[in-house]
């Protein structure tokens, strides 16, 4: 019902687009730092672990690049980054809306005849489903860059071999699958967090609890939908 | 004019409002009083539609608000202004954005017209124009209440509601807010309902008083008649506030 209200007719389209851009900044630009860190280190660790298991005279030097790029696109970037975003963005959304609820700011909007779910939730969901797939593309690029960098530094494989491996197995569908996951997870994070924030009753302790619930439930739903999408689409 | 007829509201097994009937006339200050937990905030929330009563009617100029559809309620709400107990200002917005919020959302006013209206509202609640750039958390409690009133009157409401306008304020600031409520009510000729447990406000600004106790409307009348009322609970409340002798 909350989602129905959120996707109801907005009171003012100009305000909606302005708020969506603001949310894109909060969800996207402000998450770049953590996405950068997680992705780069993820690529480096993955490369080292694959090299530890695979480097031998029988395995071609391009194998590390092939495995790192495929694993990153299919699983690690969308899932790990979205789990991190569930913590950063999900808790932020739930806490913001929860605080607005307990301080009667949402009631004030209702009194003014403003569709509060549409004003508050819709821009967050729209911004998340636009920005998170873009963050995932950045994450994939950074993870591959991290892998290529550590492969070159440690001497397990040259940057040229790594890239050649990554290019040789690249399929457009893998990237599309990754973006479908990102889109789904973005919706899960923003809608679950909004739901918990919007339904807070009580005080500051309940806001904290709602924030925790939002992160835990989003993470569980991400893992369940990760499996379902893999089962359905691969 | 707002009329409440046979209003009942229950929370789980607790009856918060029991068959309330009252008439709030325009152009005067109607004050609902009662101790904490008496049901006055529930009554106000039922009147403005934040809570849905199990039974009864809330008539705004003879139109029942409760069965109205979403669009009818929305239209009526454009005529309602409300000051919340904690002011309920939007923390992420400046004072200017707070006051202009209902105008931006619903009116077709141009930017300069909105600017002018916000300046007028700020002046009306005795705040300087430079306050417009500040955020709510940079203001004192009294200033926040004034901004809340400025936001409520920005749309020229027909009905004004004040929920505990003096809570959290020192006595001096409380009197300033009371005077402001009185002035605005006189100027705009709104139907004004004030929820309060501040007995000084009752004698300073109320034109008509409604005393709620344990969900029942126990007494209604003019403030001057309180001292001669036979209602023991009301007299006890007045006595506790030092307004009458024991």
Which pLDDT score is estimated for B35? 83
Q: Would you call A111 and B48 a contact, using CB atoms and an 8 Å cutoff? A: yes
Phi, psi dihedral angles at B214 (to 5 degrees): 50, 40
Mean pLDDT lowest for which of A25-29, A212-216, A222-226, B32-36?
A: B32-36
> Between A12, A99, A107, which is nearest B50 by CB?
A107
How much is the pTM?
0.87
Nearest to A67 by CA among A219, A169, A189: A169
Give the number of residues written for chain A. Answer: 234
Give A159-202 pLDDT, tens digit per residue.
Answer: 899 999 888 888 899 999 999 999 999 999 999 999 999 999 98
A13 touches chain B (CB under 8 A): no
Indicate the average pLDDT of chain A.
92
pLDDT in tens, A36-92: 999 999 999 999 999 888 777 777 878 889 999 999 999 999 999 999 999 999 999
Task: Please name the residue of chain B whose CA is at the shortest distance from the CA of residue A16.
Answer: B105
Contacts of B17 by beta carbon, 8 Å cutoff, 6+ apart: B7, B8, B9, B39, B42, B43, B46, B53, B215
Residues of chain A with Cβ-Cβ distance to B80 below 8 Å are: 111-113
**Closest in A99, A111, A119 to B82, CB measured:** A111
Checking DSSP bridges between strand B208-213 and strand B80-83, what pairing results, if any? unpaired
- Identify the residue whose tokens are 């202009």: B100
Residue B209 pLDDT = 93
DSSP 3-state helix, strand, coil percentages of chain B (rounded to 5)? Answer: 40, 25, 35
B78 touches chain A (CB under 8 A): yes
Q: Is A201 exposed, middle or buried (0-12, 13-18, 19+ CB in 10 A)?
A: exposed
Domain boundaries, chain A: 2-233
| The pLDDT of residue A156 is above 70 | yes
Q: Burial-class residue B47 by CB neighbours within 10 Å (0-12, 13-18, 19+).
A: buried
User: Under CATH, what is the fold of the domain B1-79+159-246?
Assistant: Rossmann fold (3.40.50)
Using CB atoms, pick whichever of A11, A104, A110 lies closest to residue B86.
Answer: A104
Cα-based angle A112, A113, A118 (whole degrees, multiple of 5): 115
Q: Where are the alpha helices (DSSP H) in chain B?
A: 40-48, 70-77, 95-106, 111-124, 141-153, 171-188, 199-205, 232-240
Question: A114 vs B86: CB contact, 8 Å cut-off?
Answer: no
Q: Which residues of chain B have pLDDT under 50?
A: 246
| Chain B contact for A18 (CB, 8 A cutoff) | no
Confidence band for A12, pLDDT divided at 50, 70 and 90: confident
CA dihedral A19, A21, A26, A29 (to 10 degrees): 180
CA dist list (Å): B77 to A5, A111, B158, B160, B182: 17, 6, 10, 11, 22
Nearest to A12 among B77, B91, B105 (CB): B105
Rounded CA-CA distance B230/B236 in Å is 11
Give how far A119 is from chain B: nearest CA, Å.
10
Most A CBs within 10 A among B50, B80, B88, B90, hence the mutation to make, goes to B88
Asked if B74 is an interface residue toward chain A (Cβ–Cβ < 8 A), one would say yes
pLDDT of residue A175: 93
Among the listed residues B116, B231, B227, B162, the one whose alpha carbon sits nearest the alpha carbon of residue B24: B162
Average pLDDT over residues A130-155: 94
B106 contacts A107? CB cut-off 8 A: no
Q: Which of B40, B41, B52, B44 is nearest to B8 (CA)?
A: B52
Quick one: which of B18, B10, B16 has its CA closest to B37?
B16
In which order are the strands placed within the sheet that holds B2-11?
A: B14-24, B2-11, B55-60, B63-64
Domain limits, CATH 3.40.50.300, in chain B: 1-79+159-246
State the DSSP code for B208.
E
Strands of B208-213's sheet, edge to edge?
A: B80-83, B159-163, B191-196, B29-33, B208-213, B216-221
Q: How far is B192 from chain A (nearest CA, A)?
A: 15
Contacts of B76 in chain A (CB under 8 A): 113
Contacts of B106 in chain A (CB under 8 A): 11-12, 112-114
* Residue B156 sits at the chain A interface (C-beta within 8 Å): no
The string of pLDDT tens digits covering residues B78-131 is 999 999 988 999 999 999 999 999 999 888 889 999 999 999 999 999 899 999
Structure tokens at B104: 């931006």
What pLDDT shows up at residue B246? Answer: 47
> pLDDT higher for A233 or A223?
A223
Report the C-alpha gap between B115 and B103 in whole angstroms.
10
Cα dist from A99 to A74, A96, A205, B31, B108, whole Å: 37, 5, 11, 29, 30
């Amino acid at each position: 019902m909350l989602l129905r209200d959120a996707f109801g007719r907005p009171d003012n389209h100009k305000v909606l687009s302005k708020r969506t851009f603001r949310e894109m900044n909060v969800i996207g630009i402000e998450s770049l730092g953590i996405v950068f860190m997680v992705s780069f280190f993820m690529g480096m660790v993955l490369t080292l672990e694959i090299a530890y298991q695979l480097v031998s005279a029988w395995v071609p030097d391009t194998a590390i690049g092939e495995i790192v790029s495929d694993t990153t696109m299919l699983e690690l970037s969308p899932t790990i980054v979205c789990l991190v975003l569930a913590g950063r963005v999900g808790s932020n959304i739930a806490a913001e809306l929860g605080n607005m609820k307990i301080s009667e700011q949402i009631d004030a909007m209702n009194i003014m005849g403003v569709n509060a779910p549409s004003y508050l939730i819709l821009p967050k969901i729209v911004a998340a489903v636009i920005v998170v797939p873009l963050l995932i593309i950045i994450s994939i690029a950074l993870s591959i860059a991290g892998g290529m960098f550590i492969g070159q530094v440690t001497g397990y494989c040259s940057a040229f071999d790594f890239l050649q491996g990554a290019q040789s197995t690249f399929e457009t569908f893998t990237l599309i699958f990754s973006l479908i996951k990102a889109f789904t997870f973005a919706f899960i994070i923003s809608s679950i967090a909004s739901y918990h924030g919007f339904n807070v009753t009580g005080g500051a302790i309940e806001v904290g609890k709602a924030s925790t619930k939002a992160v835990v439930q989003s993470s569980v739903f991400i893992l369940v939908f990760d499996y379902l999408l893999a089962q359905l689409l691969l | 004019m707002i009329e409440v007829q046979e209003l009942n509201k229950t929370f789980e097994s607790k009856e918060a409002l029991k068959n309330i009937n009252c008439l709030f006339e325009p152009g005067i200050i109607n004050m609902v009083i009662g101790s904490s937990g008496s049901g006055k905030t529930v009554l106000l929330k039922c009147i403005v539609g934040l809570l849905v009563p199990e039974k009864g009617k809330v008539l705004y100029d003879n139109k029942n608000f409760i069965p109205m559809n979403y669009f009818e309620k929305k239209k009526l709400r454009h005529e309602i202004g409300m000051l919340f107990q904690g002011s309920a200002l939007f923390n992420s917005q400046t004072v200017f954005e707070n006051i202009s919020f209902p105008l931006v959302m619903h009116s077709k006013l141009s930017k300069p017209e909105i600017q002018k209206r916000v300046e007028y509202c700020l002046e009306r609640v005795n705040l300087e124009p430079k306050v417009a750039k500040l955020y709510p958390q940079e203001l004192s409690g009294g200033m926040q209440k004034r901004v809340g009133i400025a936001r409520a009157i920005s749309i020229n409401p027909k009905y004004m509601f004040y929920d505990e306008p003096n809570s959290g304020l020192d006595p001096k600031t409380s009197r300033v807010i009371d005077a402001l409520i009185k002035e605005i009510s006189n100027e705009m000729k709104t139907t004004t309902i004030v929820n309060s447990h501040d007995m000084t406000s009752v004698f300073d600004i109320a034109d008509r008083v409604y005393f709620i106790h344990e969900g029942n409307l126990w007494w209604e009348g003019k403030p001057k008649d309180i001292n001669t009322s036979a209602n023991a609970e009301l007299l006890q409340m007045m006595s506790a506030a030092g307004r009458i002798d024991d």
